[in-house]
Every structure is written in C-alpha cells, then in structure tokens.
Amino acid sequence: MALGDLMAASRFSQSGAEVSSHLEEFSANGNHVEEDGDMNVYSSNNINNNNSNARDLSEMASSSYAAMTTTTSMAYLPQTVVLCELRHDGFEDCMPSGPSDSGLVSKWRPRDRMKTGCVALVLCLNINVDPPDVIKISPCARMECWIDPFSMAPQKAIEAIGRNLNQQYERWQPKARYKCTLDPTVDEVKKLCTTCRKYAKSERVLFHYNGHGVPKPTPNGEIWLFNKSYTQYIPLTLNDLDSWMKTPSIYVFDCSAAGLIISAFVELLDQSTSTSGPSAKDCILLAACEAHETLPQSAEFPADVFTSCLTTPIKMALRWFCTRSLLHESFDYSMIDRIPGRQTDRKTLLGELNWIFTAVTDTIAWNVLPHDLFRRLFRQDLLVASLFRNFLLAERIMRSANCSPMSYPVLPPTHQHHMWDAWDMAAEICISQLPTLVDDPNAEFQPSPFFTEQLTAFEVWLDHGSERKKPPEQLPIVLQVLLSQLHRFRALVLLGRFLDMGPWAVDLALSVGIFPYVLKLLQTTTPELQQILVFIWTKILALDKSCQVDLVKDGGHTYFIRFLDSIDAYPEQRAMAAFVLAVIVDGHRRGQETCIEAGLIHVCLKHLQCSSPNDAQTEPLFLQWICLCLGKLWEDFSEAQLIGLQADAPAIISPLLLEPQPEVRAAAVFALGTALDVGSDTSRDGQGEEDDDDEKVKAEAGIVKNLLNVVSDGSPLVRAEVAVALSRFAFGHNKHLKSVAAAYWKPQSSSVLTSLPSFAVKGSSSGYTTPTHYMPHGSIVPSPIAPLLRVGHDSQPVSRDGRVSSSSPLATPGIMHGSPLSDDSSQHSDYGALNDCVTNGVLSYSRRKPLDNALYSQCVLAMFNLAKDPSPRVESLGRRVLAIIGIEQVVAKSFKPAGVSIRPGEPSTSASASLAGLARSSSWFELTGGAHLPLAFRTPPVSPPRPSYMTGMRRVCSLEFRPHLMSSPDSGLADPLLASPGPSGVSDRSFLPQSMIYNWSCGHFSKPLLTAMDDTEDVIARREEREKLALDHIVKCQHSSLSKMQNQIASWDTKFETGTKTALLQPFSPVVIASDENERIRVWNYEEATLLNSFNNHDYPDKGVSKLCLVNEFEENLLLVASNDGNIRIWKDYSSKGQQKLVTAFASIQGHRPGVRSVNAVVDWQQQSGYLFSSGEISSIMAWDLDKEQLVSTIPLASDSSISALAVSQVHGGQFAAGFVDGYVRLYDIRTPEMVVSATRPHTQRVERVVGIGFQPGLEPAKIVSASQAGNIQFLDMRCAKDKYLTIDAHRGSLTALAVHRHAPIIASGSAKQLIKVFNLEGDPLGTIRYYPTFMAQKIGSVSCLTFHPYQVLLAAGAADACVSIYADEILPPR
C-alpha cells in the first residue's frame, strides 16, 4: 500500500514533537541545576489526569512536583508552540475561492469531442501511364498500399489497392463510412464529397488524395483528375473542393509538391477570414512534402511512403529501422508481416509494439506542441489523433530521404526528438524475439522493459523536479500505463505523488488527458487501487469542481460512498472521500439527489455517532469533512434537510461543537446552519404539513440553541460560521426577530430606552445568576450568551402593554454580554414585557411558526455580541446579521457629555428629563464596548415610530429609529435589504453572508499532503540558537551579584498622549514594545533608537491595554495584546512597519458583575501549558487553551472580591497566582481537581488591593512576591503555614507597579511619586531610580509599568509622561 504507507508516515512525522538535542549538553554542565528535596509537597498522584477540564501536562518535565530534580532546560524553554496553523495565516483578509468550475482550470476539457464520420478515398494512379512531369529512376519505388501494381492487371491492381487502403484506414476508425473512387473525373469527386458531407452531417469528413498517376499540383494549388476517356488531366480548384467538403474536414495529400496545396489553402482561409470575419472553418491538412520537393523514389520505400506511414505505422517503422540497425544483414523482412498478435491486444508482440509506439508519439507531441494545439489534434478526434501520431513517424522517415512532410496547423519539427531512441530500443528488443516467436508459436513473449523504465524515469523526476523545472516528459506514458493491469498500481501511486505537487501539476495531468482514464477506473473493484484513486480524485476536484457532473453521470459517487463507509482505510483517506462527495453535491442539485438516494446522509451520521468525543483515534480532518459534506448535501435543499432532521442529525452533530479543533467546530456549525430552512414564509400554506412543521420548528429551535452555545468561541473561524448560520435563521424568522429588536428600542415619551426582557432564572443569593438553559448536562463550558442578570426584588408599576412605566429610572438589563449595567439597585427586569409586545399583532404575519420568545431574545443578544466582535471579519458579519433584522449601522455622532443634540421642534425639557436616568446609569452600550458600534433600528411596519425621541446618548453614539422605508446617505448596510415594500421585509437571499469554512477547508487538499511539512532547517537552527543563548543568559542571571540598577542605557519618548500603560522587552532583539490608554502600540529599537512600527490595536480604541505578552518566544514570536475589556488580539509581523497582521482575536471575559463600570481585565499567558488566564471584575477566572482556541475551564472565585493582579508560573505549566482587591493572594493549579492550592492574606495593615504579583525566580513552585497599593511587598511561600517570611515597606502608599525577574534574584517596584526601587530576594535594597524634572521643569508622571527582560538584567519602566526608560546593572555592559 505504497500511498497509504506514505500518508501514514507523513501523518506521524507531522505529529511527532521533536525536542532539540542540545538541551542535554547544558544539563551536563550541572552548574545551573537546582535541586530542592523538600519541594515535593503534594504528590503527583493528586493530579487528576482524567480531569476533562485540563490538558494532561504531566509529560512535561515541569509538570509534576516530584520531578523537580530534572534539568532546568526543559522547564525554562517551553516546547509548546501555538497559533501557527493554516487558519492563523491571514484569516481576516483571505477570501478563499474553493475549487473552481470555470476559467483557467476547465481549459483541459476538449470543448467538443468530435469524430470522423465519413472517409473519401480518391486514388489517381492510372497504372502503366506515368505523368509527363515525372522522370522515374530504376529500380524505383513501386508499392502502393503494400501491393505491387505491376504484379497483376491494372484494373485489378487499382481495385486491390483501393480495398487495402480502405482496410488500413478502418483499423483506425472502424465506425466511419468509407467511399472510394478510383481514377475519377471531377464530377465523380464532386458526387463523392457531397455524399460524404450529407452522410457525416456535422461530423468530420476525411479526404484522402493519392496523386501518383497525375502531374504535380499547379502553383495555384489545383489538383489533377481525369476526363472520362482518360485522354486529359482535368484540374480541380481548391475552392470547389472546399465548397463540396465544407467544415469540419481533414485532407491528406500524398503527391509530389503537395506543399503548393497547403499554401493555396492557407491563402483561401485568409481570404474567407477577411471577408466574413473570424473563420469558423475547422480544416486540417496533411501533405507529403514541401512545394519544391518530389516524393522519394528509392526502392527501399514504398511509392506511397506517406500513406504507409499514416496508415500502417508499425510495419513502416520496423522496415525503416531494420535497414539502419545491426540486424539488417541477418533479418528476413517478410517476418514483419508475420508479427504474432493483434494490434488491440497489449499482451501480444504486435499489440505491445503498437502501445509503445502510441506512448512515444503522444509523449513527443505533448512535449513539443503548445498544450491547446495538442488537445485539439491529439485529444478531440480519435482518427485525427492517430493520423497525427503517425504523421510524426512520417516526418522522421521521410526527412531521412530529404523530404519534409507539412501540416496545417504547422507543427514544430519532431524528427530528432530523443524519445525516438527509446522507440528504437523497444523495436530492437521486439525484433530480436521475432524469429523465435515466428518459428515456435508456443514460445513465450517477453514484454518490453520500456514502460517500467519510463516509470522509473518519472519517479526520478518526482524526486528532483518542481514547478520551476521543466515538466516531466513521461506524463503521457504514465497515462498509457494506466491501461495495463501489470503496471497500473505503480503508475497511479506515482501519478498521485505528481498531483500532490500542486494545482499546476493537476492542470498538467488534466491537459495530457488523464480524466477519462481515472473516471473509467472508478468502475473497477480492485481493493488496492481504492486509496490511491480516492487520493487522485481529491487532487482533481480540489482544482476543478466541474468534474462533479461527470462523476454523477457515470455513477462515480457510489465508489466514494462505499469507500467512506469502509473501515479499512485511514481516517485521512476517508476524509478525502468525504471531500470528494462534498464537491460532488456542492451547488449541484442532481448530485445532491443521487447522493441522498445512495444513503449518504445516513452513512455520514453513522460515522459521527461512532466517533465518541474521547476517542483519540478520530481524525479531526475526517470529522470536519463529514460535517462539511452533510452541510453541502442539504444546503438549500429542503427535502434533504427534512431527512437530516428525521435522522436526528442536529443531536448527532452538536457534540462536535465542543471538539478541540476549531476547524471541526466551525464545520459542525456550518452543518447545523445549512440545516436551517431559509425558505420563504409564504410557502407554508398546506394544512397537511402541520405535523412536519411542528417537528421542523422544534428542530430549528434545537439547532439555534446549540449555535448560541458557541457564539463566544475562542476561534474567529467558528464565530464567523455562527454569524452566517444566525443570518440564515434571521432570514427565515425575520418578523419575529424584528419585533423583539423593536421591543428593545420602542420609544417612550419620557425615557430613552425601554425595558428589556431578561428571560432570566430567579436571582441567586449573590444577586446575579448565569442561566445555562441550553448546556448539555455536566458540560464544563458555561453558556457564553447567558446573561448575568441582576434581579430586582421590589415591584415596579407596569403599564398595560407590559412596559416599565415612565416613573421608573432607565431600565436596561444588559444586552451585550448580558450584563445588567445600572448602578441603581432598584433595577427592574420585567418578564412579561416581551411576550405582550410580540403578541401585539406580530405573530399573524406569516405561516411560519414562531419559536419561543426567550430564544428570539437570546438570538438578538448573540447578534449584538457578534456585531462588536474583536475580529473585524466576524464583526462585519455580525453587522450584516443585524441589518437583516432591521438594525443598521449609521454614521457615528459623538457627543460631549455637556452638549446634547435635540431634534428640532422637540422641547428641551423632555430631553433633560430623559437624560436624568442616563446621568446615573450608563448604557449597556457604552459599558460593554458598544460605543464603536453606532446602530439605528428600523422598525417593522407593525408599529410606526412616534416623532418625539432622542438622538443622543451622552458621548456614546446615536441610536435612532428610522421609518421603515426611509433611505438616506448614512443608512449603511440595511438599505438594499429593507427598501422592498410589503410585509416580507427581507426578500433578497443574495444578501445573506456566505459561509467561508467550506471554501477555506478545500484549500487543505490543494496543498501537498504526502510530504510532511516539517520546519525548514533555518527555523530549527534559529530556535536552537535562541535556546542556547537563553540558557547561557539564564546561567548568568542566576549567578549574577547585582549592585545597582541605575545605569540608564536608553530613553524613549513614545509621544503617547495619555502616557505609557504597558511595556514589554523582546527576548532576542533590542526591541521594546509599549502601548497607551488609547490602544496605540509602538515598537522601538533601543540600540539604534529607531521607531520600527506604530499601529492601533483596533479601530475603536477606548479601552486601554491591560497587558502585553509574547507568544512563542523561541519561534517567530507573536504579540498578545489584552485590552481592559478582556478582548484579546494577537498580532504577527508586528515589528515591521505597516506589516502587522491579526492572527486571531476573541473576548476572553464574558459577562461582568452588576453595577460595575468596566471589567478591568487582568490577563497572563503561560507558554508552558499553552493557556491564557483572564479575570477581572467577574466572579471567576477563565482559562483558555490557545492551541484549541477554546475556553477549557472556568474557575469560580471563593469570595465576592475580584482579582486585581494575575501572574503565571513560567516553569510549572498550569500553575498561577492571583492577587485580590481585598488583599488576598491565592495560588491555583489547573491540573488539580480543586484548582486552588492555597490562600493567604498577607496585606493586612490596611486592606489594600494587590497591585502586583509574581513568582520568584527558580524552580520552586510556591514562592511568590506580592505588592499592595499600600506600598508593602510581601515574600510568600504558599506551602508554609506561616503566611509571609519577609516584608519590605517599599513605598508609603501609592505603589503602582511590581516586576519580578524571571531568573535573576531581583525585583523592582514603582510608585506614583516618581520612584523606582530595586531589591534582591533577601529584601536588601539594590538602588533607587528617581525621575528628575526635565529642563522644562514640568511635573513628571508616576511610574505606570515595570518589566524585566526575560533573560538579561534589564529593566524597562514606563511613566505617565509617555517616557520609557531602560536600565541595566552597572557591571553589565549595554547589549
């Protein structure tokens, strides 16, 4: 199973993590290996490896507390690399196209297959009478069609010659009709041609002219015939001949000076082109020699050498070869006529010779001719192809007699091509066997090694060739070999390897004519060919989708369904079969129908059910393609959707939404989304469909609930698919969603916004609750969309239509992230509001049954979440979804808090009254990052808006109502959608955003699959060099005796208006990265003092950056930027000017506490485990696995207090420490079942928040440094009962920043009083850095951030005055 083994090998080489070998040499030094016998505090068997919340990190050297005595190199140099998959390479701006079905790729198809239907043979021999312009030599060539005309009576001879010629042509085209006319008159030729054309209709007609008994053609190209009594030669003009033959036609002229005819014909064609525009004539001409040449007369040739080459090539080639080979003296030429076998039987000598000859001539033509000409002459018409193959032989043989055959279209010279040598060798091997085979009929024929050798040559090319080199000339031979069972498997494997080189290779193979062969092979049942055939079809369909039609027509789809259902193949290969089937049904109704009849839905669902989530054997690619195949199968095909729903497809697919691979989750979302019927509302008028309808509505509700669970997935790939799926839902349930959205914004006379329904469960004792209505039991992922709701306990006056009366303060339970945002404790959430306003005349719109209103509300919430997604692509999709339900983007109108814009004619008192609520409680919009999303709602026609309403909401944005049909320049996305009159609202399906996952996933199969994509040598060398450098520096850091840190080696004015908020030093280049409150990021080289790059983290920078981290330090590192609202954005190429690209983006925090103005996210990244931990003003810590791009754990906080500082251990994967607002410090380990390892409250003098926390350098797992706002720094050993073993009172109050070096025994703290103090781990002060006033004597801001270089003793300090300074130890020379 060559290909299967190849694929398996590549699969394992891709997955095997190689640990660099040089780590051992460092541990051998022994001088930096730290050992601590007491370290094993709680044993490693405590770690619950089965805990599904955490990845099993126990394989790492750093994972178990028992394994601390191992070398530090593994602990200090994490091997985890994340975010380097295909999906991270330009997801935001790529527009994948998927397999094409037009343009360049389909050029390989013969546009119109054609056949020659009729052959007209005209022989002008006039035996015994030589034409006047010919002087014959003696001995002279006499044979015509291998008959000597002088061996019998002239009349008999010409009839025999005509019969022979007829038979010779019949071998190449047995189904054509043949008409022969001997020594004819002009009228007879006219009758012959018109009869042939009449019979052939639009097929090709061949006109063969032998003029050996008449004079040469005239300079005008006229050919000669006879009069009735054979006393005169009569000329026939080409014009006449052409008018009788019409088009398409092919002419063979076997006479001297035949080139004259070609020249005249080309002139004729040019004239007709100039008079009647582009010529539609399809004429091909073959002529025996050029205009000034006569036919060879040597007796070694037949008289009709040209015709003999064209119609009996093997005989002609062997005779000519023998005269030139060493065999010529001993060889009996009559044996050539007795070669055993049939031309069509490749297992006989004659058949093999014919097969080799076809392969050689095809190869020469393919390598010499332009590809479109090759396709026209060699792939369109069987007879034309045979004649042109044989024409190449004629050119070779006749040029040896100083005669140059001609053709139109003109071919490049081929007579010296080196493939003729291969033919000569094959001919010689065959001829050497001939005497034995002729003498002994039972002798066994030895096949020629020709094909084996050519396949070996092809294999050599595969080992060394590439797209930039000359294409492999053996490709047409590989095609011929597919006909033989003996070599077929090897040929297919090599062909598969060739196709794997890229789309260019697939295009070459298709242009050589591979398609009909591999299509035919789908009818075989040979098991060993299955894998390779599936692979080859995968490669073809990844390039050209149009083959789907041929596959369905020939029933090829059943081959792939059988393969998909077989259990012998590797999952990757079955994934390919699923891909092939997905392409077959993609947008092809006939394909969808035939595959459904063949039971594809049930086959796919069966395999999804077999693969349990814990089954490590299930290949993600297989799951991904099963889902995509299902999605394409029922996309826009309601019958298939119904079959899927009846087979319980949503319930089978939905568990995949928790799979670790984002591609699988996105594919599952796609399959669920396409199962939603977007059909028009009016289609539901039959009563008989009621039951189906109920089932369908129920199933759709289930699907939407599942989709809502992944609306906050960590991967933009998945969220983009959720947005597309929700847009389908919004399209189908447009009215109901519009009315829910209208309820959110329905204007009141005295309040800006109306009450929003909360659909919450009853409030818990803490005052807020996270409903998880739709989560599978025991799931670890809380419902991301579920709002955190605060439920009021005092009743409010409710007006008749279920809305909060005007006396209530602004009532807005949160829409975004579901957070209730008013500080007012009497906030009220009204359960009835929505039900009343929706039933208020909305449900009568359509026959489509509504789902329950809470679900619609959740959908609207989800749509808002998507519309303010940190990923620009998902955000734009989210806005399009909102546009479908009538909420559209308008031009942002910013307002200063003081000035409020009021509509003309509206009394200002009502405005100020309405703003009273806003002054106290800020809107959901501002608090949850909606400020960058100006929206306007277009109400559905059911309740036209009243004229008096507000346009301004503080400085946030404008939320406006628009009448349904009003259109204006700033009306954004929804205009084309909502301009259609009538209740249908959205009618144009083309407005639906298109899914990307299918096209994007197809790209996988266009790339090489057989060669493992290993890291290049440069990448490995760079990593090894960096690791060596890091280990050297670590040793220096650990043994450095520090004195002072006051040597300022660089100072940089970042020109940030709001001062520096965070800073970061790059480990292996002299680069510092800083950012400010406005999320502007600047990258500076401090050795050359040059600005490398400056860019905005996103377009609406109003949150501030809370943390900068480097991801993949030893590779091409990525910059992780965490905003204060918890949104994470990860950039690559960030240090090249204008080159930065967003790799991924997601919201790491969902929901926040009631009454809190902002989330104040604290985030840290741990390379060892690949986890990102984030928390803030929320009641839990969220752990994200950046490899899976998934929330893997939500750790609830024990107290009501929130986290103000977070630090991960850089050596113990899964371990991190958190400092709380109330002064507590807790140590967590995500690998333990209870998560919290220990807790202490070191900062007790005054309860002050912990502003900085960090792990002490070294391998000890529980030693922590923590600093509080009050100014005291505590050194803690979390294992010991006593809380703290060392306290430093560093600053009196006002401590603002703390930094702990990763490896050197040094910490630094900064204060608001422009001081930085440096201490060692014993608490001894090593120095104080003061900010001195500048020469302008302006006040310098407080220290805002401190950060150490990971591997050198360098400290970067950022201040509120936008200055970043870098300090080194005095002993350490600047880098």
pLDDT confidence tier of residue 101, bands split at 50, 70 and 90: low
Ranking 203-212, 721-730, 958-967 by mean pLDDT, the lowest is 958-967
Buried b (16+ CB within 10 A) or exposed e, 99-119: bebeeebbebbeeeebebbbb
The pLDDT of residue 979 is 33
Is it the case that residue 847 has pLDDT exceeding 60?
no
430 vs 1335, residue with greater confidence: 430
Give residue 912's pLDDT: 32
CA distance 129 to 133: 12
Model confidence at 1109, pLDDT cuts 50, 70, 90, reads: very high
- pLDDT per residue as tens digits for the range 685-719: 334 445 567 788 888 899 999 999 999 999 999 99
pLDDT of 89 strictly over 50:
yes
**pLDDT tens sequence across 715-770:** 999 999 999 999 999 988 888 888 888 876 654 333 333 333 333 222 233 333 33
Contacts of 524 (CB under 8 A, 6+ apart): none
Enumerate residues 6+ apart whose C-beta is below 8 A from 784.
709, 710, 711, 712, 713, 1150, 1191
Highest-scoring range by mean pLDDT, 26-30, 144-148, 430-434: 144-148
**What is the structure's pLDDT at 105?**
52
| Mean pLDDT calculated for residue range 404-431 | 92
Name 773's Cβ contacts closer than 8 Å, sequence gap at least 6.
705, 761, 783, 786
808-832 pLDDT, tens per residue?
Answer: 233 333 333 333 333 333 333 333 3
Alpha helices in 991-1072 (DSSP H): 997-1006, 1017-1038
What's the whole-number mean pLDDT along residues 1332-1354? 73
Query: What are 226-252's pLDDT values in tens digits?
Result: 999 989 999 999 999 999 999 899 999
- pLDDT of 859 above 60: yes
pLDDT digits (tens, 9 = 90+) for 567-619: 888 888 999 999 999 999 999 999 999 999 999 999 999 988 886 554 545 78
pLDDT band at 1199 (very low <50, low <70, confident <90, very high): confident
- Would the pLDDT of 1340 be above 70? no
Average pLDDT in the 360-371 region?
Answer: 94
Task: Dump pLDDT digits (tens) for 638-663.
Answer: 899 999 999 999 999 999 999 999 99
What's the pLDDT at 1198?
A: 78
Mean pLDDT within 867-882:
92
pLDDT value for 957: 31
> How far from 569 is each of 442, 526, 661, 1186, CA to CA, in Å?
44, 14, 22, 32
Whether the pLDDT of residue 636 is over 80: the answer is: yes
**Per-residue pLDDT tens over the stretch 1241-1289:** 887 766 688 999 999 998 888 889 999 988 889 898 888 756 567 787 7
Q: For the sheet containing 1354-1359, what is the strand order?
A: 1047-1053, 1363-1368, 1354-1359, 1343-1348
pLDDT at 742: 80
pLDDT average, residue stretch 904-918? 33
Distance CA(477)–CA(467), nearest Å, equals 20
Q: In this model, does residue 292 exceed pLDDT 50?
A: yes
* pTM check: above 0.75: yes
Model confidence at 344, in pLDDT bands (50, 70, 90)?
confident
Q: Distance (Å, rounded) from C-alpha 504 to C-alpha 593?
A: 32
Q: How far apart are CA 548 and CA 546, in angstroms?
A: 5
Higher-confidence position of 953 and 324? 324
pLDDT surpasses 70 at 378? yes
Contact between residue 1160 and residue 1177 where contact means Cβ atoms under 8 Å apart: yes
Strand-pair partners of 285: 251, 408
Q: Report which of 940, 701, 946 is spatially closest to residue 838, judged by C-alpha positions.
A: 940
What pLDDT sits at residue 133? 82
pLDDT in tens, 33-78: 333 333 333 333 333 333 433 334 333 333 333 333 334 566 778 8
The model's confidence at residue 114, banded by pLDDT at 50, 70 and 90, is confident
User: Between β-strands 1190-1196 and 1180-1185, what pairing exists: parallel, antiparallel or unpaired?
Assistant: antiparallel
Say whether pLDDT at 879 is over 70: yes
CA dist., res. 84 & res. 71, Å (int): 28
Sequence-separated contacts (24+) of 1012-1017 with Cβ below 8 Å: 1012/9, 1012/10, 1012/13, 1012/14, 1013/14, 1014/13, 1014/14
Give the model confidence (pLDDT) of 465-522 as tens digits: 888 889 999 999 999 999 888 899 999 999 999 999 989 999 999 988 899 999 999 9
Region 119-135 average pLDDT: 90
Give me the chain's average pLDDT, please: 77
Q: Which of the pair, 313 or 43, is modelled with greater confidence?
A: 313
Average pLDDT (959-963) is 33
1236: pLDDT confidence band, cut at 50, 70 and 90? confident
| Comparison of pLDDT for 913 and 592, the residue scoring more | 592
| pLDDT on residue 1013 | 65
Phi and psi at residue 406, to the nearest 5°: -125, 160
Which residue, 761, 539, 720, 678, is CA-closest to 1145? Answer: 720
pLDDT level of residue 455 (50, 70, 90 thresholds): very high
Say whether pLDDT at 1130 is over 70.
yes
Which whole-number Å values give the CA distances from 480 to 476, 491, 535, 645, 987, in the listed order?
6, 9, 20, 48, 54
Q: Do 735 and 839 meet the contact criterion of CB atoms below 8 Å apart? A: no
Q: What is the C-alpha to C-alpha distance for residues 1279 and 1264, in angstroms, rounded to an integer?
A: 10
Closest alpha carbon to 986 in 1139, 880, 866, 1075: 880
CA gap 720, 707 in Å, rounded: 12
The three-state secondary structure class of 872 is helix
Measured CA to CA, the distance from residue 672 to residue 639 in angstroms comes to 15
List pLDDT tens digits, range 987-1004: 567 778 889 999 999 989
